[in-house]
Amino acid sequence: MESKKLASLFQEDLCIFSLRSRKKASVMQEMVRHLKASGKITDEHFILEMLKNRESLGSTGLGLGAAFPHGRSIAIPELTVLFARSPSGVDFEALDSKPTKIFFLILAPSEKGAETYLDLLSRLTALVQQPETLEKLYEIKDFESLQAVLGGDGK
């Protein structure tokens, strides 16, 4: 997936630049509520339960301060990505046991788009493994900065 296509999957109204929540369950709830408020999902409880079930299989907090809660369902009409940032970090039960500062919540329909969904997950995982990019993600405070980092134009 090229950088411009990656950046195009993000929307300004699907960003939380300063999460208020401090615990794993409340972070997921805050992100899902944001999706509901933006009209991207209709059943907040169903999506939250789906994410909790996914987390029960193993934390999506992969380490390096990044987490990728994700899931697929027939209840999700289109690929939806939410970016969230916690300036101080949250205990998200990450694999490296360190606080998680950035979150990419990815929801996709179960019937279509599997390739884009997996490509997106792979591309984002690769991005956070680049130390310079990861540092930029930690500092993002607005949509333009997020687009610059994801779009690869070096800002």
Which pLDDT band holds residue 117 (cuts at 50, 70, 90)? confident
The whole-model pTM stands at: 0.93
56 or 74, higher pLDDT: 56
Q: Alpha carbon of 141 to those of 19, 83, 108, 135: distances in Å?
A: 11, 11, 26, 13
- Distance, in Å, from the CA atom of 17 to the CA atom of 20, rounded to the nearest integer, reads 10
List the chain domain ranges: 3-151
- Distance, in Å, from the CA atom of 39 to the CA atom of 5, rounded to the nearest integer, reads 23
* pLDDT reading at 134 higher than 70: yes
29-44 pLDDT, tens digit each? 999 999 999 999 989 9
Helix pair angle (131-139, 143-151), 10° resolution: 170
Single out the residue of 100, 81, 78, 104 nearest to residue 91, CA to CA: 100
Q: Which of left, alpha, beta for 97 (phi over 0: left; psi -120 to 50: alpha)? A: left
Which pLDDT band holds residue 153 (cuts at 50, 70, 90)? low
Query: Running DSSP on this structure, what letter comes out for residue 13?
Result: G
* pLDDT reading at 73 higher than 90: no
Write out the H or E segment, with its range, that includes residue 105: strand 100-109
Q: Which CATH architecture has domain 3-151?
A: 3-Layer(aba) Sandwich (3.40)
Above pLDDT 70, what percent of the chain?
95
- Catalytic amino acids? 70
97, amino acid identity: S
* pLDDT reading at 124 higher than 80: yes
